[in-house]
Amino acid sequence: MATPNPLKLKLRVNDLKQYEYCPRVVYYQYVMPVERKATFKMEHGRSAEDRLDELERRRGMRRYGLPDGRRHFHVWLTSDRLGLSGKLDLLIESSTGWYPVDFKETTGAVRSNHLFQLCGYAFLIEEAYGGSVSQGFIYLIPGDRAEPVALTDQLRIDTLNALEKIREMIRLQRVPEPTEVQARCTDCEYRNYCGDVF
Ligand code: SF4
């Protein structure tokens, strides 16, 4: 059994997604907790995921390209060693391995922040169940399709680096630069606090 590291600040897998999207979101959550409003996107995303849960329970594995598989919904995963935890939407247990599936209410393509989050889940699955997780899926709800994602060595390195950068930001309590993609600020629940952006 892995030895817990008491010095590691505990983070959530979701932090990886948020940090890649905009580091300030994670800053506001940990360093300067502020009230935030649930946006339409957040509420709509939750109900769409509930509907997908129901559909997935009745489906086969063809859309994942897997020969077989058993679905585990909303799996709580944690690692003391990595100081990381999170609840995965869907874990597929197949004769060919374990596959994390993250549901996204996102139009367009899979984004880099989705990859970081998926990789975080892969780390936790490997620690909980053993073996190596080589692939996962981002399920794009509006397009009703499961996009395969290779969990490459580079993605693993980048994800571990992101965890360390988040811890460093929290430790130093240093407000990070805003995202370079200003369009992301439009729907952001923290926009009232980013006076330098608007
Ligand atoms: S408003 Fe923009 S810069 Fe500020 S936290 Fe949100 S996404 Fe980041």
pLDDT digit string, tens, across residues 13-27: 999 999 999 999 999
The enclosing domain of 95 has a CATH number of 3.90.320.10
Number of domains in the chain: 1
Give the rounded distance of the alpha carbon of 96 from its chain centre.
23
Q: Residue 194 C-alpha to ligand 1 middle, in angstroms?
A: 6
Mean pLDDT of the chain: 89
Check pLDDT > 80 for residue 42. no
Q: Which atom of ligand 1 is nearest to the CA of 25?
A: 5
Check pLDDT > 50 for residue 1. no
> Nearest-5° angle of CA 45, CA 68, CA 103?
10
Q: What is the mean pLDDT of residues 182-196?
A: 89
Specify if 3 maps to a domain: no
Q: Is 194 in the pocket of ligand 1 (CB under 6 A)?
A: yes
pLDDT tens for each residue of 50-81: 777 877 877 889 889 999 999 999 999 999 99
Predicted local distance difference test score (pLDDT) of residue 75: 96
Specify if 134 maps to a domain: yes
What is the best residue among 21, 32, 188, 189 to mutate for testing ligand 1's pocket, by most ligand atoms within 8 Å of CB?
A: 188
Closest-CA residue, ligand 1 atom 1, reads 191
Q: Residue 38 C-alpha to ligand 1 middle, in angstroms?
A: 15
Specify if 113 maps to a domain: yes
Pair 87, 12: CB distance under 8 Å = no
Whole-prediction pTM: 0.88
Q: How far apart are CA 30 and CA 163, in angstroms?
A: 14
Give residue 32's domain range. Answer: 11-193
